[in-house]
Amino acid sequence: MRVDIISIFPEYFAPLELSLIGKARTTGLLDVAVHDLRTWTSDVHRTVDDTPYGGGPGMVMRPEPWGQALDAVGEGTLIVPSPVGRPFTQADAHELAELDHLIFACGRYEGIDQRVIDDAAARMPVREVSLGDYVLFGGEVAVIVIMEAIVRLLPGVLGNADSLTEESHAAGLLESPVYTKPASWRSREVPEILRSGDHGKIARWRRDQSLLRTASRRPDMMAVYPADNLDKKDRKA
Ligand code: ADE
């Protein structure tokens, strides 16, 4: 997978050299290029913003540097993190993990001139995505979050592919609590069932915990969970 990231703060992306994303880059599974938007400015101050038409607070990113930057990186799927985007989900991560070329455009200030997005959409798929109902300074941190969600789905990145099928959101439910050794810590015991060796009972316990957690923390997820996926014992839980 090829990823181009365009930002006025290229230094923000140092974490993409670490851990499993860094490893995916060195092994050649992932090719990331970070570009400084100011490369495509032509004035001495390397200006990327200006006042908004129609008035109002803050500044808007000018279209010219963005147009040139997007022309330079070529066509792919353009992802623009923004508080006005559609909510980013695990399903999006799966779809994006299938693609060969992703381009991330990091907005700052009040956002990017809308014509940049409209112009790009005339020649490539564009997704404006939001991480949640809150406002960040800019898209940089959102890109790192979205990259993590995508890159861990690329074949060969996670040692154990089962991690992907067992995890929260994979089956529309939150994962059950997890424990490791020691069996007793500060007088708190690991649930007996998990130490029983009875795989049927363990699976049932995990399923119940998943359902209880999802119902109490994420009633929105429970509401859309397909009734067909619930068995008799689930209903009791
Ligand atoms: N940029 C600013 N706020 C954001 C958010 N909530 N999600 C994605 N990108 C953003």
What interface predicted TM-score (ipTM) does this complex get?
0.98
Find out whether 154 is annotated in a ligand binding site: no
Q: Give the CATH class of 168-236.
A: mainly alpha
- The yes-or-no verdict on residue 236 having pLDDT over 80 is no
The average pLDDT across 113-119 equals 98
Find out whether 211 is annotated in a ligand binding site: no
Q: Does domain 2-151 have CATH number 3.40.1280.10?
A: yes
Question: Mind listing the pLDDT tens digit for each residue in 18-37?
Answer: 999 999 999 999 999 999 99
Q: Which atom of ligand 1 is nearest to the CA of 129?
A: 8
Using CA positions, which residue lies closest to atom 10 of ligand 1?
82
Q: Return the structure tokens found at 153.
A: 């789905």
Question: Mind listing the pLDDT tens digit for each residue in 23-82?
Answer: 999 999 999 999 999 999 999 999 999 999 999 999 999 999 999 999 999 999 999 999
Question: Mind listing the pLDDT tens digit for each residue in 118-152?
Answer: 999 999 999 999 999 999 999 999 999 999 999 99
Q: Where are the domains of the chain?
A: 2-151, 168-236
Please provide residue 82's backbone torsions phi and psi, each rounded to the nearest 5 degrees.
Answer: -165, 145
CB atoms within 10 A of CB 114: 10
Per-residue exposure over 147-183, b if at least 16 CB sit within 10 Å of its own CB, e if not: bbbbbbbbeebeeeeeeeeeebeeebbbbbeeeeeee
Only one residue has tokens 């959101």, namely: 169
User: Helix-strand-coil percent breakdown of the chain, rounded to 5?
Assistant: 45, 20, 40
Per-residue exposure over 17-32, b if at least 16 CB sit within 10 Å of its own CB, e if not: eeebbeebbeeebbeb
Ligand 1 within 6 A of CB of 7: no
